[in-house]
Structure 1
Amino acid sequence: MKLNPSREHHLIIGILLSVWSFVFSFFARPFEHGNMDLGIWINVSVGFSIAAFLSYSFVAIYQNIIFRKLNKWNILLELSTYFVFYFFYSILTYTYYRSPMVYGFYDFPRFFTEIILNITLIISPIIFLLRKYAIKLIPKKEEYIIFKGENKLDFLKIKKDELICISNSQNYVEIFFLENEQLKTKLIRSSLKKIQYEFDFLIQVHRSHLINPTHFKAWKDSNTILLTQTELPVSKSYKNRILSL
């Protein structure tokens, strides 16, 4: 299971939960007793909103500490963030509820069962969706691949997504790749079989050609495919592999 450790992203989640808490408290009004006019409900909504933001701030701090120590994340740790959130949220909202700003008279057990549990059922799916979306915001690390030939100077380090294809050239292989959006090539003394063994993400389309499937664009005709800034022939025996992309 993944965790987005970005404090900025979780700050945004805290703000969104704060806004939701204000809107929910003001319009849904999870409790009603005594003389609760518009002014009091504004106070309640503001207090619950601040409590939501502070509680999720504790979550952000807690999860960063745990993630740094363990360098991993799992379902139990994820569930523990919900516990941390509701622990602080319950304390903060109840403290505010019993303050002179609201003059609430529920004791904590009643406040928890009648208010917090109902809020938990509604807000938990929201937290889940926001945290799941935050994972998609994790920037992808650029993955590099290194080609080494038989000679010391036969060396090429490029980003994986820059590699287009590799073609056999007698005792060499010719590597086609992008550099500043321009097609470049480099000869390395090696074999196509060795390259395919070392980089199993490559797909063979011809006895003399391997391709990076992410650069496949379209079929030019029944025997030729178009790649980024180049094209290659396709053998009948390898055609099914291309058709499955």
Structure 2
Amino acid sequence: MLTGEAVPQRKLAGDTLHAGTVMQDGSVLLRADAIGKNTTLSRIIQLVRQAQSSKPAIGQLVDKISAIFVPTVVVIALLIASVWYLFGPAPQIVYTLVIATTVLIIACPCALGLATPVAIIAGFGRAAEFGVLVRDADALQRASTLSMLVFDKTGTLTEGKPRVVEIQLFDGADEPSVLRQAAALEQGSGHPLAQAIVARAGLSPLPEIAQFRTIPGQGVSGILDGIPLLLGN
């Protein structure tokens, strides 16, 4: 987690493990350095929540306009009410209240004040559905002016779930036999490439492997039908 890579990363003694990390092979003894809201994952969640309450430049402009617009509307409503009270038909108080209320309702700046926050919250929520975390509202606003985006491909634009598309054989090897051995050997591994090989084989159940072992950073080994097998880089 938080490695920037779509494939599992090897961890050594002393490395940092973030809360939410999934271990695919082996076992680990770790010490908790942070819990609850102090973990990296919790801080990321907190940043997203803070971003939802932030205001972009256009939101600040709307606040400034509202600060002038609201008092102006109230003054206009009072002036019109006074005119109707002094020169309007009887009963003056009824017409005064109706006219003043009408002006306030028509000129209510609710839409002006709510449009920006609602759009921001909706934008953040929609982005989060696609796995995009926006740090502040200004970034979301400026995104509409972008003409070019640069992405990491694997695990970002793609699913990070590789599949076998071609098999090359050497020295007269038989594809079903080779695929059977490879899938049997990889069924004990949680690596994405191992899962792709098992999926390509499509054999159920696969033969059991004896003395299965994961070699960190290199591959896996085991014995099938008395034959030692190595698979990896």
**TM-score after normalising by structure 1:** 0.27
User: Which structure: larger Rg?
Assistant: 2
Higher relative strand content: 1
**TM-score after normalising by structure 2:** 0.28
Higher RCO by CA contacts (8 Å cutoff, separation 6 or greater): 2
